[in-house]
A and B are shown apart, each in its own frame.
Chain A
């Protein structure tokens, strides 16, 4: 079974500072990877997904970006954080040929001050 790691677990950053959140997956190969943001009262919002190394699809226009430098590594970045970027960021993984369910990491709580 696959295990998803995310770090850091919590982060407090000032407005205008850069951001880098990392997600790594163990126990699978060539997974689809996803970044979600969960804000209070808004449910899970899909931000980016990747079906392979270097392949990134963006779902929501914003000041965030994503990269996939290795098969099981997914990074979420920003050059300048906004207050509205605060939230709970979740990474998820799915393995092709499975029964299509996504498995989630433990999340990163980001507070922009």
Chain B
């Protein structure tokens, strides 16, 4: 069974204080690892897809990296508007064309001004 564990559950940062969120996973053949951002009361917003170990992707203050067992979402010099819940999900090759995702419980990030 595919599993995704995110840590920490909650993270409080001061504006400008860089940090990282962790996503550990077990999957029987990884097709892709996905990062989403979710604001309160809204649907998740797609951020990144990573396909193979060593891959990195960046978007503004966010950078996602991938190893064979985990992914990190690095937040550089965060601003209060980066406050949200960040979700990690994996998609297994064994799923074929159903493209199902298994999600972690998320990390609630709060950035104080």
How many residues on chain A are close to B (CB under 8 Å)?
27
Among A63-71, A78-86, A101-109, the stretch that binds chain B is A101-109
Q: Tell me which residues from 29 to 62 in chain B have a Cβ below 8 Å from any Cβ of chain A.
A: 31-32, 34, 36, 41-46, 49
Q: Contact check: which of B34, B43, B98, B105 meets A32 at CB < 8 Å?
A: B98
**Chain B residues near A74 (CB-CB < 8 A):** none
Q: Does A51 contact B (CB under 8 A)?
A: yes
Does more than half of chain A's interface fall in helix, strand or loop, or is it mixed?
Answer: strand
With beta carbons under 8 angstroms apart, the residue of A43, A46, A101, A106 that contacts B34 is: A101
Q: Check A21 for interface membership: any CB of B closer than 8 A.
A: no
Could you say which residues of chain A place their CB within 8 Å of the CB of B45? 104
Chain A residues within an 8 Å CB radius of B105: 41-43
Count: A-B pairs, CB below 8 Å: 60
Which residues of B are interface residues toward A (Cβ below 8 A)? 31-32, 34, 36, 41-46, 49, 87, 89, 91, 97-106
Closest-CB distance, B9 to chain A (whole angstroms): 9
What 4 pairs across the A-B complex have the smallest Cβ distances? Answer: A104-B43, A43-B105, A44-B103, A104-B44
Would B99 and A102 count as touching, CB distance under 8 A?
Answer: yes
Shortest distance from the beta carbon of B59 to any chain A beta carbon, whole Å: 13
Q: Contacts of B32 on A, CB cut-off 8 Å? A: 99-101
A41 closest partner in B (C-beta): B105
- Within the complex, the shortest CB–CB distance from A1 to chain B, in Å, comes to 11
Does A25 sit at the interface, judged by CB under 8 A?
no
